[in-house]
């Protein structure tokens, strides 16, 4: 009885699915899905190699500090970094007095209240504060950016496929629309308030090119601040903000795997020892 | 509940004798996973995965309990509390990555455990109850994992919750009411998040309880083995301890190495980047996909794209998805071939490997965007999935001519054909005399 009912149910499922696949195939052939500009012209990120890559990866502190400088002088005008605190900067090689100074001199102040009146006010940041947002709220952010919302950057390299490589490619990927695209998809002309960038999912991004000229930032360590260099540095910085415990993880992992290899070898020998003499 | 030749628990130390007379708990453990449980001597490494699944559950419960001390189930702060764990809690990153990747490891070993059972016919009499309880555990695991994935309150958490509870919305007439009831609102929000957290904490302990029943029912007939021939005498078995505790110890080491490599060096490999974006009800992700362990079922759900006889495609998909698991409950009666082990069923063995590839294809399509050619491929693969269990297996049981079985486990072992290798060579007929 079970087998008869099962057989009938099986025939029903198989019948429906084969009917569906045939109708699907017919409509696929007779009416193939139209190609889209996003599908044809979207590019995968360029390769990017950072010191933090791989199982033994460590942050290149010089580079991460340069990336922080790019964030501070360029990105921070619009993008928040709300999960990172000033105190965390000691992890990338800043000393405590330096961190204190950075917090104190930060262009944006931290929301507070006036201790006398209770009125909303702002105060200087301290190392214990998270990086203050450049906008009071989402509405203010959208109002200042033509209704686009600059995303928080704390987790950006973990919140996009290919992480740091994506950020680097996006920052260096601004270009004029290829004539081929306009010829094949005349309706896909980038709207006036947007910017063409083939690394962005729908090709048109609201963010204007943030890194426009070599030397936009002056590095104190003598590195030549080309646009590509600045983009790489800020990508490295955002790897750190997204995964600040990366070095501890790699270190612990190395020790754990070595320990487990030894323990498992001993376990294997114990197993062989116990089973010696028992044919199986 | 064991073979007559099983060793008896004889406590030597007076303290243990005193305990045993008042609470025979050590005796229970001894008989369950100690020297008091005789096990076929020819088990291969595919028999390690039950213990590994238990270990994975233990890891999940321990890491989960500590994570719950730092997590806050409230839509306003849930996402940030997870990041607080990642950044500010001592070794919080270790706990969270262990828990997230531990779930994947749990499913990997459970899938291997299930396919072991499918190949060696472990679901057949007299072990039907073991199989049924195992499926109950599997369903509980899926519910637990789904609700756990909602807790970080990222984009995939939110939209996954919306899509999965939406499945119940496909039920005619009462569907939308049920969906609202499940979520405690019209969309996932604090009510849903809180109840998911509550149930996510509860269900692992229910799983642990069903595991006890699973093992209890296993110990009535005893473990199956790669030949599928039942134990005939003491020469066929060895005591669980130390023989299989030693073997499981080694297996556990290999499991932990793979787990550690993933946890420490590729912790986000199996996750989705969108879940690092806070949940936003106003912004739908381009592709909503569940965690990888649901992909085969997700592919079956999405394979139904056409309304049939007025039944909406979505409802058909929901029926098929649940049906794809429910039919496994009938497997012991669908496949009524008297031969258990696939090693002695040449045709079955071929179809088994087709099923393995089929499920992998379904999994791949389930993780891919819902566009051609993935939809058509998943439709063909889903058709085979149902055909395999509902049509092929019952027919095979009638039509297939199995290879001769060895007379006993010991005979198979001594002749060098213990079946303890899972060979894909269907021509490797055992040289043992056909006493069957």
| pLDDT single digits (tens) A28-37 | 888 888 888 8
Are B397 and B327 found together in one domain? yes
Contact: A20, B83; criterion CB under 8 Å: no
Whether the ω angle into residue B109 lies within 30 degrees of 0, i.e. cis, is: no
Q: Å from B196 to nearest chain A CA?
A: 24
pLDDT at B425: 42
State what percent of residues in chain B have pLDDT above 70: 95
Taking CA atoms, A196 is separated from A35, A39, A172, B51, B224, in Å, by 19, 15, 12, 55, 63
pLDDT at B309: 86
Taking CA atoms, B196 is separated from B131, B188, B253, in Å, by 28, 10, 33
Residue in the block written with tokens 């007929």: B429
pLDDT at B418: 61
**Residue B108, domain member (yes or no):** yes
pLDDT at B209: 98
The reported pTM is 0.94
Are B122 and B261 found together in one domain? yes
Across the range A155-183, mean pLDDT stands at: 95
Whether the ω angle into residue A129 lies within 30 degrees of 0, i.e. cis, is: no
The domain that holds B198 is classified in CATH as: 1.20.810.10
Are B86 and B121 found together in one domain? yes
Long-range contacts (CB closer than 8 Å, 24 or more residues apart) made by A108-112: A108/A76, A108/A132, A108/A133, A108/A134, A111/A136
Which residues of chain A does B420 touch, with a Cβ-Cβ cutoff of 8 Å?
A: 280
User: Would the CA dihedral through A4, A6, A11, A12 be positive or negative?
Assistant: positive
Query: Mean pLDDT over all residues of chain B?
Result: 93
Q: Identify the bridge partners of residue A110 per DSSP, sorted by sequence position.
A: A123
pLDDT at A36: 87
Fold classification of A45-84+130-242 (topology level): Cytochrome Bc1 Complex; Chain D, domain 2 (1.10.760)
Are B320 and B410 found together in one domain? yes
How far is residue B97's CA from residue A6's CA, in Å, rounded to a whole number?
Answer: 42
Minimum CA–CA partner of A151 in chain B: B277
pLDDT at B419: 54
pLDDT at B427: 42
pLDDT at B308: 87
State the angle between helix axes of A227-242 and A61-73 in degrees (0 to 180), rounded to the nearest 10.
100
Would you give per-residue pLDDT tens digits along chain B (436 residues)?
Answer: 579 999 999 999 999 999 999 999 999 999 999 999 999 999 999 999 999 999 999 999 999 999 999 999 999 999 999 999 999 999 999 999 999 999 999 999 999 999 999 999 999 999 999 999 999 999 999 999 999 999 999 999 999 999 999 999 988 899 999 999 999 999 999 999 999 999 999 999 999 999 999 999 999 999 999 999 999 999 999 999 999 999 999 999 999 999 999 999 999 999 999 999 999 999 999 899 999 999 999 999 999 998 888 889 999 999 999 999 999 999 999 999 999 999 999 999 999 999 999 999 999 999 998 888 899 999 999 999 999 999 999 999 999 999 999 999 999 988 876 655 544 444 444 444 443 4
Are B307 and B385 found together in one domain? yes
pLDDT at B115: 98
Reduced to 3 states (helix: H, G, I; strand: E, B; else coil), residue B21 is: helix
Closest CA to A85 of B108, B88, B207, B139: B88
Q: Å from B202 to nearest chain A CA?
A: 30
pLDDT at B370: 84
Q: Which of residues 314-343 of B touch A (CB under 8 A)?
A: 316, 320, 323, 327, 330, 333-334, 336
Taking CA atoms, B118 is separated from A252, B124, B324, B348, in Å, by 38, 10, 15, 10
Are B217 and B313 found together in one domain? no
Are A235 and A75 in contact, with CB atoms under 8 Å apart? no
Are A142 and A78 in contact, with CB atoms under 8 Å apart? no
Q: Give the 3-state secondary structure percentages of chain B, helix then strand then coil, rounded to 5.
A: 65, 0, 35
Are B279 and B360 found together in one domain? no
Q: What is the pLDDT of residues A191-204, one digit of tens each?
A: 988 999 999 998 99
What is the CB neighbour count within 10 angstroms for residue B30? Answer: 22
Are B186 and B131 found together in one domain? yes
Residue B238: which H helix or E strand, with range?
strand B237-239
Are B279 and B153 in contact, with CB atoms under 8 Å apart? yes
Q: Å from A89 to nearest chain B CA?
A: 13
pLDDT at A58: 96
Ranges of each domain in chain A: 45-84+130-242, 248-273
Are B278 and B364 found together in one domain? no
A25 at B interface, C-beta within 8 A: yes
**Residue B159, domain member (yes or no):** yes
Are B327 and B367 found together in one domain? yes
pLDDT at B420: 53
Q: Which of residues 221-280 of A touch B (CB under 8 A)?
A: 242, 244-245, 248-250, 252-254, 256-257, 260-261, 263-264, 267-268, 270-271, 273-275, 278-280
Across the range A174-186, mean pLDDT stands at: 92
Residue in the block written with tokens 């340069």: A66
Are B277 and B304 found together in one domain? no
pLDDT at B433: 42
pLDDT at B417: 67
Q: Which of residues 121-150 of B touch A (CB under 8 A)?
A: none
Q: How many domains does chain B have?
A: 2
**Residue B3, domain member (yes or no):** no
Are B55 and B75 found together in one domain? yes
Segments forming the whole domain that contains residue B309 = 298-418
Catalytic residue among B219, B230, B287, B436: B219
**Residue B392, domain member (yes or no):** yes
């Amino acid at each position: 009885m079970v087998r008869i009912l099962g057989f009938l149910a099986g025939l029903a499922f198989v019948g429906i699915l084969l009917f569906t696949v045939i109708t699907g195939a017919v409509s696929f052939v007779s009416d193939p899905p139209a190609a889209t500009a996003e599908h044809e012209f979207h590019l995968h990120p360029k390769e990017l190699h950072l010191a933090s890559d791989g199982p033994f990866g460590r942050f290149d502190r010089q580079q991460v500090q340069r990336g922080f400088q790019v964030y501070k002088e360029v990105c921070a005008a619009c993008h928040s970094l709300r999960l990172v605190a000033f105190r965390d900067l000691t992890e990338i090689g800043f000393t405590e007095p330096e961190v204190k100074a950075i917090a104190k001199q930060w262009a944006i102040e931290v929301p507070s209240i006036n201790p006398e009146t209770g009125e909303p006010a702002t105060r200087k940041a301290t190392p214990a504060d998270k990086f203050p947002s450049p906008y009071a709220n989402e509405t203010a952010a959208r109002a200042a950016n033509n209704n686009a919302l600059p995303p928080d950057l704390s987790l950006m390299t973990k919140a996009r496929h290919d992480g740091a490589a994506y950020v680097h490619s996006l920052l260096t990927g601004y270009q004029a629309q290829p004539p081929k695209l306009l010829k094949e998809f005349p309706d896909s002309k980038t709207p006036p308030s947007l910017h063409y960038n083939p690394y962005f999912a729908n090709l048109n991004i609201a963010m204007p090119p943030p890194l426009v000229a070599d030397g936009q930032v002056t590095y104190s360590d003598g590195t030549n601040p080309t646009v590509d260099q600045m983009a790489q540095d800020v990508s490295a910085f955002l790897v750190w903000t997204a995964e600040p415990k990366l070095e501890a993880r790699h270190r612990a992992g190395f020790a754990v795997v070595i320990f487990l290899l030894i323990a498992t070898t001993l376990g294997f020998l114990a197993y062989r020892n116990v089973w010696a003499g028992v044919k199986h | 509940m064991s073979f007559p030749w099983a060793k008896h628990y004889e406590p030597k130390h007076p303290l243990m004798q005193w305990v045993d007379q008042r609470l025979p708990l050590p005796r229970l453990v001894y008989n369950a996973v100690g020297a008091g449980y005789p096990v076929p001597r020819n088990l291969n490494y595919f028999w390690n995965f039950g213990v590994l699944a238990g270990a994975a559950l233990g890891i999940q419960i321990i890491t989960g309990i500590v994570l719950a001390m730092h997590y806050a189930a409230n839509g306003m702060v849930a996402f940030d509390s997870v990041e607080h764990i990642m950044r500010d809690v001592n070794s919080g990153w270790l706990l969270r990555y262990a828990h997230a990747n531990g779930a994947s490891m749990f499913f990997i070993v459970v899938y291997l455990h299930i396919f072991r059972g499918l190949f060696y016919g472990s679901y057949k009499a007299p072990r039907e109850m073991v199989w049924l309880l195992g499926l109950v555990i599997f369903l509980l695991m899926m519910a637990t994992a789904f609700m756990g994935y909602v807790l970080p309150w990222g984009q995939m958490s939110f939209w996954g919750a919306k899509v999965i509870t939406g499945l119940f919305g496909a039920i005619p007439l009462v569907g939308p009411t049920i969906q609202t009831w499940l979520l405690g609102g019209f969309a996932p929000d604090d009510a849903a998040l809180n109840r998911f957290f509550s149930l996510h904490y509860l269900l692992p302990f229910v799983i642990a309880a069903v595991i006890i029943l699973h093992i209890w029912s296993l110990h009535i007939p005893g473990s199956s083995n790669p030949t599928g021939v039942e134990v005939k005498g003491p020469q066929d078995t060895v005591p669980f301890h130390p023989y299989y505790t030693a073997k499981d110890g080694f297996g556990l080491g290999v499991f932990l190495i793979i787990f550690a490599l993933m946890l420490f060096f590729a912790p986000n490999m199996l996750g989705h980047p969108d879940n690092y974006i806070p949940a936003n009800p106003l912004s739908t992700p381009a592709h909503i996909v569940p965690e990888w362990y649901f992909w085969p079922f997700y592919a079956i759900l999405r394979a139904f794209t056409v309304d049939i006889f007025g039944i909406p495609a979505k409802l058909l998909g929901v029926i098929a998805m649940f049906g794809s698991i429910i039919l496994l409950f009938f497997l012991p009666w669908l496949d009524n071939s008297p031969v258990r082990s696939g090693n002695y069923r040449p045709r079955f063995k071929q179809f088994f490997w087709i099923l393995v590839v089929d499920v992998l294809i379904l999994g791949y399509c389930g993780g891919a965007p819902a566009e051609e050619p993935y939809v058509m491929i998943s439709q063909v693969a889903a058709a085979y999935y149902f055909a395999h269990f509902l049509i092929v297996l019952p027919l095979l049981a009638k039509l297939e001519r199995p290879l001769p079985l060895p007379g006993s486990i010991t005979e198979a072992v001594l002749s060098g054909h213990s079946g303890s290798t899972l060979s894909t060579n269907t021509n490797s007929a055992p040289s043992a005399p056909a006493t069957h």
